[in-house]
């Protein structure tokens, strides 16, 4: 409602400024239609550059997003012209009103774009205000604790032998830290590592590990900020005596607009980074459960596709996965361009890492995973359903869930909340 109110007020003010004083008829007959035309052309040219020329994103941007961008451009055109006209007429307060109206329209348009992706859940999130505890890596690795859970028998969960000691903090903490590409040479951005309350105790439980990835464009901090990962994980920990997986949000692309396709290629050795460097760093740096069965990989959109790729090609490293709103196949727009760019034209090499082809090639009886997609996600929904069905036919233990919403963090945050208990059971944390 707030964004609609801002839009209505801004539009009313701009209309009032244009419809009074000298030149009112000219404003309605020429200025407004011309501004609408210019805004439409600017938006259309921008859309063509994004979708057909530059192609910085692997998927098309919804038409509704471009519509609201056009509304924002129109607000800027009318607001700037109105403010300039009022200043020339020596009416500064009306010029201020024009600027305020301009800002209201832009904010309203941006709010509607944000509703599509749910990137910012609140004004505090937009302003970068944290709703979680942070620590430095030095604070976390400053001591080695005695551990609980290293010798559990078959079928025994960590929760069943765990008693939280006094002094356990009420919430977990997030650590931002580089994970070097020792084996891969990959230049990843710093990871975001969530450590649950039980990690800060003596003795320390050996917790399972979930490696998460954001989409493209995006970065590790998106899961923490927009996906509200610390809040979701803390809620889980509060229900399980401070226990939750250690969650490592790793970077599979290197920069916001890059695309590695989650493979080793001239664009970067993302596969080796995720399969070797990330788990190697976690085991060497943190006290966690090192049993491969206690590990999972997950992600959203590009990251969901990447998670499925790693689970299928490296099942001994990640035998469990969470694929949310995954692409039907790894792509930078077309299969032909993808094969040429990343595989030097070798279609067989592409098929060796494409989930659909891998699932049709052999069974995966030891694999377990969950697929999540928004019920309104018309672009990704069919592909997610097809991948789920193919994974089930390949003998894996899989789940499927549709949640209200589209291709947005509203779905992905709730998807993590929904599937975290299932993952925790798969990884031996809870019964």
Is residue 122 predicted with pLDDT exceeding 70?
no
Please name every residue paired with 33 in a beta bridge, in sequence order, or none if there are none.
none
pLDDT single digits (tens) 369-395: 999 999 999 999 999 999 999 999 999
Is residue 56 predicted with pLDDT exceeding 80?
no
* pLDDT grade for 120, boundaries at 50, 70 and 90: low
Total residues found in the chain within this entry: 431
Say which CATH superfamily domain 129-426 falls into.
Answer: Alpha/Beta hydrolase fold, catalytic domain (3.40.50.1820)
pLDDT at position 20 is 55
- What is the distance between the alpha carbons of residues 301 and 338, in angstroms, rounded to a whole number? 17
Summarize the confidence of residues 49-68 as an average pLDDT.
74
Summarize the confidence of residues 99-128 as an average pLDDT.
70
CA 297 to each of CA 57, 246, 312: distance values in angstroms, whole numbers, following the listed order: 23, 12, 11
Is residue 121 predicted with pLDDT exceeding 80?
no
Is residue 262 predicted with pLDDT exceeding 50?
yes
pLDDT single digits (tens) 294-317: 999 999 999 999 999 999 999 999
* pLDDT grade for 429, boundaries at 50, 70 and 90: very high
How many Cβ atoms are within 10 Å of 176's Cβ, its own excluded?
17
pLDDT at position 125 is 58
* pLDDT grade for 92, boundaries at 50, 70 and 90: confident
Tokens 């007020």 correspond to 9
Summarize the confidence of residues 316-341 as an average pLDDT.
92
- What is the distance between the alpha carbons of residues 184 and 284, in angstroms, rounded to a whole number? 17
pLDDT at position 84 is 83
Is residue 352 predicted with pLDDT exceeding 80?
yes
Is residue 11 predicted with pLDDT exceeding 60?
no
Burial of 144 (0-12, 13-18, 19+ CB in 10 A): exposed
pLDDT at position 27 is 67
What integer best gives the mean pLDDT of the chain?
A: 88
Q: Which of 5-19, 175-189, 343-357 has the lowest average pLDDT?
A: 5-19
Is residue 13 predicted with pLDDT exceeding 60?
no
Domain residue spans of the chain: 2-117, 129-426
- CB 140 within 8 Å of CB 430: no
* pLDDT grade for 63, boundaries at 50, 70 and 90: confident
Rg (CA), the chain: 25
Which comes out higher in pLDDT, residue 286 or 109?
286
pLDDT at position 244 is 98
Give residue 36's region: left, alpha or beta (phi > 0; psi -120 to 50): alpha
pLDDT at position 43 is 84
Summarize the confidence of residues 210-219 as an average pLDDT.
94
What angle is formed at CA 230 by the lines to CA 224 and CA 232, rounded to 5 degrees? 110
Q: Which of 18-22, 70-74, 179-183 has the lowest average pLDDT?
A: 18-22
Summarize the confidence of residues 18-34 as an average pLDDT.
69
DSSP 40: H
Is residue 94 predicted with pLDDT exceeding 60?
yes
- DSSP codes of every residue in 282-336: HHHHS-B---GGGEEEEEETHHHHHHHHHHHH-TTT--EEEEES--SS--SSSHH
How many Cβ atoms are within 10 Å of 365's Cβ, its own excluded?
9
CA 17 to each of CA 62, 81, 276, 398, 419: distance values in angstroms, whole numbers, following the listed order: 33, 10, 62, 59, 53
Task: Report which of 265, 269, 272 is spatially closest to residue 345, judged by C-alpha positions.
Answer: 265
Summarize the confidence of residues 251-276 as an average pLDDT.
94
pLDDT at position 12 is 53
Summarize the confidence of residues 419-426 as an average pLDDT.
97
Task: Report which of 413, 412, 361 is spatially closest to residue 391, judged by C-alpha positions.
Answer: 361
- Percentage of the chain beyond pLDDT 90 is 61
* pLDDT grade for 91, boundaries at 50, 70 and 90: confident
pLDDT single digits (tens) 31-45: 778 888 888 888 888
pLDDT at position 22 is 45
pLDDT at position 390 is 97
pLDDT at position 144 is 82
- Percentage of the chain beyond pLDDT 70 is 88
Beta strand 368-374 with 397-403 is parallel
Please name every residue paired with 191 in a beta bridge, in sequence order, or none if there are none.
177
pLDDT at position 124 is 61
pLDDT at position 67 is 86
pLDDT at position 23 is 59
- What is the distance between the alpha carbons of residues 338 and 344, in angstroms, rounded to a whole number? 9
Task: Report which of 252, 318, 242, 247 is spatially closest to residue 288, judged by C-alpha positions.
Answer: 247
């Amino acid at each position: 409602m707030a964004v609609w109110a801002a839009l209505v007020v801004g539009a009313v003010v701009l209309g009032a400024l244009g419809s009074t004083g000298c030149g009112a008829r000219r404003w309605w007959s020429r200025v407004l239609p011309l501004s609408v035309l210019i805004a439409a052309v600017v938006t259309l040219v921008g859309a063509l550059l994004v979708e057909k020329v530059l192609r910085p994103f692997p998927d098309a941007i919804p038409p509704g997003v471009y519509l609201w961008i056009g509304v924002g451009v129109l607000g800027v055109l009318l607001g700037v012209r109105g403010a300039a006209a009022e200043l020339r007429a020596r009416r500064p307060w009306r010029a201020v009103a024009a600027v305020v109206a301009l800002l209201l329209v832009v904010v309203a348009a941006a709010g509607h774009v944000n509703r599509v992706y749910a990137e910012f859940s609140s004004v505090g999130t937009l302003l970068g205000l944290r709703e979680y505890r942070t620590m430095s890596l030095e604070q976390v690795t400053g001591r080695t604790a005695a551990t609980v859970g290293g010798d559990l028998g078959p079928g025994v969960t960590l929760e069943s032998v765990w008693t939280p000691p006094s002094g356990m903090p009420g919430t977990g903490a997030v650590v931002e830290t580089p994970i070097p590409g020792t084996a891969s040479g990959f230049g990843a951005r710093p990871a975001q590592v969530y450590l649950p309350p039980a990690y800060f105790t003596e003795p320390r439980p050996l917790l399972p590990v979930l490696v998460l990835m954001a989409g493209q464009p995006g970065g590790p901090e998106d899961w923490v900020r927009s996906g509200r990962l610390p809040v979701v994980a803390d809620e889980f920990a509060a229900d399980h005596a401070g226990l939750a997986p250690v969650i490592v949000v790793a970077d599979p692309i290197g920069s916001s607009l890059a695309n590695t396709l989650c493979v080793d290629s001239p664009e970067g050795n993302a596969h080796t980074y995720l399969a070797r460097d990330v788990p190697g760093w976690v085991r060497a740096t943190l006290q966690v459960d090192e049993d491969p069965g206690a590990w999972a990989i997950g992600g959203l959109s590009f990251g969901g596709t990447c998670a499925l790729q790693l689970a299928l090609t490296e099942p001994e490293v990640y035998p469990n996965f969470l694929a949310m709103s995954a692409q039907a196949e790894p792509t930078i727009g077309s299969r032909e361009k993808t094969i040429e760019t990343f595989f030097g034209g070798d279609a067989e090499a592409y098929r060796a890492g494409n989930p659909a082809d891998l699932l049709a090639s052999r069974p995966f009886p030891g694999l377990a995973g969950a697929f999540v997609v928004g019920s309104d996600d018309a672009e990704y929904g069919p592909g997610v359903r097809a991948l789920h069905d193919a994974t089930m036919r390949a003998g894996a233990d899989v789940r499927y869930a549709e949640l209200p919403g589209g291709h947005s963090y509203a779905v992905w945050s709730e998807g993590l909340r929904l599937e975290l208990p299932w993952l925790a059971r798969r990884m031996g944390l809870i019964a």
